[in-house]
Chain A
Amino acid sequence: MNGLRIFLNGRLTKPLIFRIVISLRLHLKKVMLSKEIAKEIQQLKNTIISLKDITVSYDGEQVLGGFNLEIHDGEFVTLLGPSGCGKTTALRTIAGFIRPDAGDVFFYDKNITNLPPHKREVNTIFQKYALFPHLNVYDNIAFGMRLKKCSEEQIKETVHRMLAMVDMSGYAHRGISQLSGGQQQRVAIARALANEPKVLLLDEPLGALDMKLRKDMQAELKKIQQQTGITFLFVTHDQEEALSMSDTVVVMDKGMIQQIGTPMDIYNEPKNAFVADFIGESNILDGIMQEDYSVKFAGHDFRCLDAGFGENTLVDVVIRPEDIKVVEPDSTLITGDVTAVTFKGVHYEIIVDVEGFKWMIQSTECCETGDHIGLSLTPNDIHVMAKSEYSGMFGDYSTFSDEMGEDRNASNEALAEEEGNADEI
């Protein structure tokens, strides 16, 4: 595929700047590929946890169906998906709180499907921290070691090392109720890591923290993961969190894996409309792949970098809002009228009506509502995906407004609560 692209690149005559962009991107891809290969070789040796054909149902409703996942030693893996997609269920199956109806859980080569949670070499950080309210910080962290009958000196040494790691030295003898949410979170991390787990499971651990604290904790968790080398399996519905922390992101919906890849893969090469919409903002248009490297959408032919879909095939075309350049209307193919402009701090979010389809553009330059503008795309900005069950469900911003966004968040929260309740059963 790469060879083909280089060949293509050489044969076609294009403006110089475009050629540079393409070759840069190819170069990046090569670097990424070689890294990936190195990683894959390493990973082949060390699959630490694998889920094989896991099926889980609650009250007759299937949450996971034939779920397969392999997690490699030392990786930071994130399960990402909307509420109710089964990501927490997958995590709890690994922790041992859920016995799957069918399928097996392996720890290295050992089948641990029927092993109770207290015998598994994994530890969990719970959504609501779940610290022991009757114990102080020290005794909370020492809990696991005391069960293992470690010596008190060893416990003392470990507790203080853990407290130092999460930046909580001096809090050893505080009561849990005296700590803020962020501090409780840190204690929960210290408590889980003091047990020296092989895998740390994190169930939306940052969900209850405010934005700024969340960002700090993200960086801190990533640092701890790199320091300790422990495999992290992180569950979240926050795509930004997933992209910024993970080595590998597993995008899930309806109990199925939609895509597995590095954060860059997931963002740049989404496999279907669901992934494209869930990870970041996307304009998703119906298109026809006329032949390799040529796609027709919005009434015009465009050159693109995708191939292998066959001729005259219906496809979904993804264009990220930040890739679109606003230009004079007479210098480009796509033109439309601005219907809404929202200031977002770093950029403006501009909704443009192009013959009925509303595009979202993120631009640092401002437009006025009612302006007639042109949208310019390079082949690099166009990503083609095969049609899927999600086609047509996402991608048009015609119903989009800020209020809608809030509603969506509110219903997500309600769903999240429901999921939490379901977990308690």
Chain B
Amino acid sequence: MKSNSKLLSAPYTVWMTIFIVLPMLLVGYFAFTDKSGSFTLENILSVGQYSNVFLRSIWLGAVATVVSLGLGYPLAYIIAKMNARRQNVMVMLVMLPMWMNFLLRTYAWMTLLEDNGLINSALAAVGLPRVHMINTAGAVVLGMVYNYIPYMVLPLYSVLTKIDKSVIEAAQDLGANSREVFLKVVLPLSMPGVISGVTMVFVPAVSTFIISKMLGGGGNLLIGDLIDMQFLGSAYNPNLGSAVSLVLMVIILICMGIMNQFDDGEAVEGGGMLL
């Protein structure tokens, strides 16, 4: 039996090794070597000069995550309270944008937000002043929230539907009004969903490059753009790019470590954790 299951997992192990472990090791190798391939710490040390880019990425990612949570939690809560058939329809609607190509969705926002875009044309048509929206930090956050909010709603929804109705009834029975039921029972029990939603929005938002490129213009450079530039752009330097990636990975791991502290380890089964 044992050798059998080993045999079955072999393709997976090979796949993992070739496409996950090996590339990670390569990133590490590039980060600590120079162009000639000899060991150096220069790449890691020079990441420091991009600290403003790191801070901006983390800041915008955090804002997008908070906004997604603020919008996504009530939505997930409302969906979870509907009857089963309407729940399915609503979950479909939440996921529907994800079936559309990511680039296309972001392009659509460009045409909406441009100075001569749809929104400004509409404003002008009713005699209101035009608003500059494209190429701002706000536009980047909007793009992040729009693209990643399903990843917030779905784990929250799945945790909220799993909360035992009788536990809520027990709280009412013991004297809790609807606000107290939410604060003392529903919210604590949905924490695993909050954490997994936050993880699934924050991580891709911090490392995105296409959203900031298309909606943020040149003034809102994010880590993703920085890495992109080192590999494909004018400033070709895979060693520096690898170093930036490595530092980003460490920062995200630390953030997740802090996040998981809120989870007590007591949590009931909920949406699967990504990290």
Contacts and interface: CB of A to CB of B under 8 A. Distances in A.
Interface of A: 95-97, 116-119, 122-124, 126-128, 130-134, 143-144, 147-148, 175, 191-192, 195, 424
B267 to A, nearest CB: 8
A134 B180 CA distance: 15
Interface string B177-195: 1001000110011010000
A233 B136 CA distance: 65
15 contacts: A96-B172, A116-B177, A117-B169, A117-B172, A117-B173, A118-B172, A118-B174, A122-B173, A126-B166, A132-B170, A134-B266, A134-B267, A143-B171, A143-B176, A147-B174
Nearest to A135: B188
A117 to B, nearest CB: 4
Given A117-B172, A143-B184, A175-B266, A130 B177 contact: no
B118 interface: no
Contacts of B171: 132, 143
B175 A144 contact: yes
Contacts of B170: 124, 126, 130-132, 191
Given A132-B185, A133-B189, A147-B180, A126 B169 contact: yes
B257 to A, nearest CB: 21
Interface of B: 164-167, 169-177, 180, 184-185, 188-189, 191, 266-268
Given A130-B169, A132-B167, A134-B188, A195 B174 contact: yes
Nearest to B264: A134
Nearest to A128: B166
A311 B10 CA distance: 88
Given A134-B188, A134-B268, A143-B184, A95 B176 contact: no
Contact of B174 (A116, A127, A133, A144): A144
Given A116-B172, A117-B172, A143-B184, A133 B167 contact: yes
Q: Which 5 A-B pairs have the closest CB atoms?
A: A144-B174, A130-B166, A130-B170, A117-B172, A134-B188
A119 B173 CA distance: 8
Contacts of B165: 424
Contacts of B184: 143, 147
A49 to B, nearest CB: 15
A130 B174 contact: no
A122 B172 CA distance: 11
B177 A118 contact: yes
B175 A118 contact: yes
Contact of B173 (A123, A134, A148): A123
Contacts of A147: 174-176, 180, 184
Contacts of B188: 134
Nearest to A121: B175
Contacts of B267: 134
Given A95-B173, A126-B166, A192-B173, 14 more contacts: A96-B172, A118-B172, A118-B175, A123-B174, A124-B170, A128-B166, A130-B166, A130-B167, A133-B189, A133-B268, A134-B266, A134-B267, A143-B171, A195-B174
Contact of B169 (A97, A143, A175, A195): A97
> Which of B167, B169, B175 lies at the interface centre, i.e. has the most chain A CB atoms within 10 A of its CB?
B175
A99 to B, nearest CB: 13
> Which of B164, B174, B189, B267 lies at the interface centre, i.e. has the most chain A CB atoms within 10 A of its CB?
B174
A118 B176 contact: yes
Nearest to B180: A147
Contacts of B177: 116, 118
> Which of A96, A118, A123 lies at the interface centre, i.e. has the most chain B CB atoms within 10 A of its CB?
A118
A16 B174 CA distance: 60
Given A147-B175, A195-B174, A130 B189 contact: no
Contacts of B191: 134
A144 B180 CA distance: 11
B5 to A, nearest CB: 29
B266 to A, nearest CB: 6
A148 to B, nearest CB: 6
Contacts of B266: 134, 175
Nearest to B164: A130
Contacts of A143: 171, 174, 176, 184
A11 to B, nearest CB: 59
A354 B175 CA distance: 60
Given A97-B169, A133-B268, A128 B175 contact: no
A263 B266 CA distance: 45
Contacts of A117: 169, 172-173
